[in-house]
Amino acid sequence: MSTVVKPVNQKAWLLILPVIICVAFSAVLPLMTVVNYSVQDIISPERRVFVGTEWFAAVMRDEELHAALWNQLRFSMAVLAVELPLGIALALAMPASGWKASATLVIVALSLLIPWNVVGTIWQIFGRADIGLMGAALQRLGLDYNYTGNAGDAWFTVLLMDVWHWTPLVALLAYAGLRSIPDAYYQAARIDGASKLAVLRYIQLPKMRGVLMIAVLLRFMDSFMIYTEPFVLTGGGPGNATTFLSQYLTQKAVGQFDLGPAAAFSLIYFLIILLFCFVLYNWMQRLGQHGSEVSHD
C-alpha cells in the first residue's frame, strides 16, 4: 500500500519576509559598514587606507579600555548579584490574585516606564546634598556623601540607580514564573510538611529557571551596554570611576572622531557581550540540570 506524500506549502515564509528585510536593513548593513571601517584608516571622506588589524591591536593595548572593561565587569556582576535575589524576593511578596495583585503590578512597573535620560536626571537631583532627599539625608546622618567628587559614592549611586530602575523587570518575570506553577506542587508540599525554604528551593526556583535565565541574560546585556543614565548622572566621573565601555566607545567615535579604532572596538565589544551571554547561558543550563537531578533524587 503506497502512501501519498502531500506537498508542503512554503508560502508561509513570505509572511516573515518583511521582518527579514527590516533586520537586514537595520542590523546587517550597519554591521558591514562597521567591519569596513575597522580595517581602514579614514583620512577623509575621499581617502581611506587599508590597515588590516592595526586598529584592533591598538585598541587592545589601550589602558583606558582596560579600566573601562574592569568598571563594566564589576558593575554588571554587582547588578546581577543584587537585582536577581531582590527581584525574586519582591515577586514572592506580591499578592497572587485579586485587585491587590493588579495594583501591585502597576506600581512595581512604574519605574520601567521612565525614560533613561529622565532616570539619570532624577537621581542627579536625588543625590544632591543641598536639595536632594537622599543626599541631604545622608549628610544629616553624618556621612560625607558626594557622588560628584568621590569615586566610591559615584559608583554606588549608579548601581543604586540601576537597581531602582530595573529590579521591577526581574520581579515581573519572576512573578510570571511563579504564577505558572500548578497548585498540585504546593498541595504535595503541604502534605509532605515542606517548609517555605524547601518549597522555594525544590519547587519555585526550578520551575522559574526559564524566566530567570531570560532575566539574567536581559539584565546582563542591558547593564553591559549602559550609557545614558551614568552619562547624565556623573558624566563618567569623577575621573574614570563610572566610565563604562559604551562611554569609552562614544568618546572614541564622537569625541575624538577616531572612526577606525571606534569601529574595531565596537566589534570587540559585540564579541565580549556574545561571549559572556554564551557563558552565562551554559552555566545556568548546567545549574538547572544539576538542580533537576537533585530534586529527582
* Nearest-10 crossing angle of helices 63-93, 209-224: 150
Question: Residue 290's pLDDT is what?
Answer: 60
Question: Angle at CA 227, nearest 5°, toward 130 and 208?
Answer: 105
Concatenated DSSP letters of 41-85: EESSSS-EEE-TTHHHHHHHT-HHHHHHHHHHHHHHHHHHHHHHH
Q: What is the mean pLDDT of the chain?
A: 85
Question: Residue 2's pLDDT is what?
Answer: 56
As given in the structure block, the three cell numbers for residue 197 are: 525554604
The verdict on whether omega for the bond into residue 238 sits within 30 degrees of 0, i.e. cis, is: yes
Highest mean pLDDT among 70-79, 207-216, 255-264 belongs to 70-79
Per DSSP, helices labelled H in 94-150 are 99-108, 116-126, 133-140
Highest mean pLDDT among 113-117, 129-133, 235-239 belongs to 113-117
Is the Cβ–Cβ distance between 185 and 102 less than 8 Å? no
Go through 88-121 and write b for each residue having 16 or more CB atoms within 10 A of its CB, e for each that does not. Answer: bebbeebeeeeeeeeebeeebeeeeeeeeeebbe
Question: Residue 144's pLDDT is what?
Answer: 86
DSSP-derived 3-state class of residue 191: helix
Question: Residue 86's pLDDT is what?
Answer: 94
Q: Domain residues of the chain, as ranges?
A: 12-52, 62-296
Q: Round to whole Å and give the CA distance between 226 and 189.
A: 42
Phi, psi (deg, nearest 5) at residue 181: -80, 125
DSSP type of residue 25: I
The residue count for the chain: 297
| CB-CB neighbours of 182 under 10 Å | 9
Instruction: Give per-residue pLDDT as tens, 268-289.
Output: 888 888 888 888 888 877 776 6
DSSP type of residue 280: H
As given in the structure block, the three cell numbers for residue 252 are: 572614541
As given in the structure block, the three cell numbers for residue 52 are: 588590516
- Residues contacting 206, CB < 8 A, separation 6+: 288, 291, 292, 295
Of 199-203, 215-219, 283-287, the range with the lowest mean pLDDT is 283-287
Of 29-33, 120-124, 175-179, the range with the lowest mean pLDDT is 29-33
- Indicate the pTM of the whole model: 0.82
Dihedral of CA atoms 239, 245, 247, 249 in degrees, nearest 10, equals: 120
Which of the listed CATH numbers 3.40.50.920, 1.10.3720.10, 3.40.1380.20, 3.40.50.300 matches domain 62-296? 1.10.3720.10
